[in-house]
Amino acid sequence: MELEQALKDGRASGALPGLHSVLVLRNGEVLANVYFEGEDEVWGTTIGNRTHGPATLHDLRSVTKSVVGLLYGIALAEGIVPPPDAPLLAAFPEHADLSTPERDAITIADALTMRMGSAWDENLPYTDPANSEIAMERAADRIRFILEQPMENAPGTAFNYSGGATTLLAELIARGSGQPIDVYARERLFDPLGLARSEWVRGIDGRPSAASGLRLTAAGLARIGQLIVTNGSHNGQQIVPADWITAMLTPHATTSQLRYGYHWWLSPQDAPTWAAAMGNGGQRMTVVKPLGVVAVIFAGNYNNPDDWEVPVSVISQYIVPALGLE
């Protein structure tokens, strides 16, 4: 109750602008569950002021990528997608004409760790058609658009944030399962977790946007986060293989400030161990596995270069002190 009140006071004072909701679990117990009114969007389309609550679906934006990372592990265990060490381009034989020695060297693991080596720029605003994700969305063939990008680095050597990498992984799941990624996610992840509500926004070509289109409630996303704490199990059912959770949270790449696993952000070398899924506007789920802590934060600060400030403040100034971790 003290944490909830502190968050309410922070929102009312203007210290947490645009904050929509916060849900914090420790070992499955709810420590805070608060919701606020605020302007919101659905995948870039303004929907006006909303009173957010436990049943409200919210854009996850790039948190979606981390969910796809989990789904790839499920699909791998089913034997319907290539393993991480398999060549990427070979999994798309209809684009064999794009073959070069550099492209042929890209592996599935390079897509999982966003080290494909190809050109991709999401540093521009997502309202800019030159942003690579927006250009991909508008391309006649999004898969070919991703694969034909010129090579800038040797595969596996340099981290380059790419919704294109996620799109390729989701396409492999869809091809292997014979289902769109949203249907596969519903059957293999959401239904087993008991998530009653979800939505996956579809792009111009009718495919669910694997990079940013998922919408869930805060409780639904927290239940996915709880899978990290429990090594992939839920109510006695192994939903995600435990060895995939380990591989997914193993640092494979280093960014300017953080480390990166298989589509999950990881703490710096000198920080307490945590994993996080992050999205445009201030969407964040942070999991501190050793402590059994899952924190979900939704906000409406879309396309704001400082959108990270609210979730970081919620964690560092409110949740950490409430857990006695200062």
Q: Is 193 inside a domain boundary? A: no
- How many folded domains does the chain comprise? 2
How far apart are alpha carbons 162 and 184 in whole angstroms? 22
Last-in-domain residue among 116, 139, 174? 174
Q: What per-residue confidence (pLDDT) applies to 325?
A: 82
Mean pLDDT of the chain: 97
pLDDT at 270 over 90: no
Residues 170 and 72 in one domain: yes
Q: Is 253 inside a domain boundary? A: yes
Last-in-domain residue among 141, 157, 174? 174
Q: Is 276 inside a domain boundary? A: yes
pLDDT tens for each residue of 196-248: 999 999 999 999 999 999 999 999 999 999 999 999 999 999 999 999 999 99
Q: How many CA atoms lie within 13 A of 228 on its CB side?
A: 32
The mean pLDDT value for 173-197 works out to 98
Q: Indicate which CATH number applies to the domain containing 305.
A: 3.40.710.10
Q: Indicate which CATH number applies to the domain containing 122.
A: 1.20.58.710
pLDDT tens for each residue of 284-319: 999 999 999 999 999 999 999 999 999 999 999 999
Residues 286 and 234 in one domain: yes
Q: Is 208 inside a domain boundary? A: no
Question: What letter does residue 151 receive in the DSSP assignment?
Answer: B
Residues 136 and 158 in one domain: yes
Residues 107 and 50 in one domain: no
Q: Is 137 inside a domain boundary? A: yes
Cβ neighbour number for residue 141 with a 10 Å cutoff = 13
Beta bridge partners of 277: 285
Residues 111 and 129 in one domain: yes
How far apart are alpha carbons 157 and 285 in whole angstroms? 27
Q: Is 224 inside a domain boundary? A: yes
Last-in-domain residue among 119, 150, 174? 174
Q: What per-residue confidence (pLDDT) applies to 127?
A: 85
pLDDT tens for each residue of 51-71: 999 999 999 999 999 999 999
Residues 117 and 149 in one domain: yes
Question: Against a cut of 0.95, is the pTM above it?
Answer: yes
Residues 142 and 89 in one domain: yes
Domain holding 124, by residue range, is 67-174
Residues 21 and 105 in one domain: no
Q: Percent of the chain scored above 90 by pLDDT?
A: 95
